[in-house]
Amino acid sequence: MLFSFLVYVIPIFGGWRADVYLGQYKATIVEVLTCGLAHIIQVIGAISSPLQKGPANAASPFTLGLILVAFGAIFKSNASPTILDQQRQKTAYTKKLKSGETVIVDPEATTTRTMLIFYGFINIGALFMLATTYAELLVVIFDHMSHLSVAPSSSSSCLQENVQGAA
């Protein structure tokens, strides 16, 4: 619950800090590096040796990484303005098409389309959560089964002996 609170409240201060002190681009770089460091810390907490020593050894890196991810999530407040700053036209203009038709190019429609694509890709990225969860499940299963050795021509009785011998 603390993580959810921090992820939604801290970007407000991140936007303010970017506007007043750092600037949009420097703030984004600092925040993305903070998220990267947080993920590295979480990976260190998830490797086998801290987990084998007990859950207390893995809890500290996980908690620290989680809090750093929440503080690194400040870049969310700077991502949309950075994307929208790249639009060339800020005012509406007319354009003559090859067919001879004259149309009004509205930058508001371009902004809407840009943000729909941006948030669509964010949602696609969120779907990777499912894939990584299943990948983790398979890695853990194979990690625990790695001590089993089965010869290519083994029968089921040989497999049972290997399983019983490993237990």
Per-residue pLDDT of the chain (167 residues; tens, 9 = 90+): 777 788 778 888 877 888 888 888 888 888 888 888 888 888 877 776 666 776 666 677 778 888 888 877 777 777 777 788 888 878 888 889 899 999 888 888 888 898 899 889 988 988 888 887 777 777 765 555 555 444 444 444 444 444 444 44
Query: Which of helix, strand or coil describes residue 147?
Result: coil
Query: Which of helix, strand or coil describes residue 91?
Result: coil
For residue 94, the surrounding DSSP H or E stretch is: strand 93-96
pTM value is 0.55
**In angstroms, rounded to a whole number, what is the distance separating the alpha carbons of residues 154 and 75?**
55
Question: Do 32 and 72 form a contact (C-beta atoms < 8 A)?
Answer: yes
Angle at 150 between CA 145 and CA 156, to 5 degrees: 105
Sequence-distant (≥ 6) Cβ neighbours of residue 147 within 8 angstroms: 166
**In angstroms, rounded to a whole number, what is the distance separating the alpha carbons of residues 92 and 80?**
21
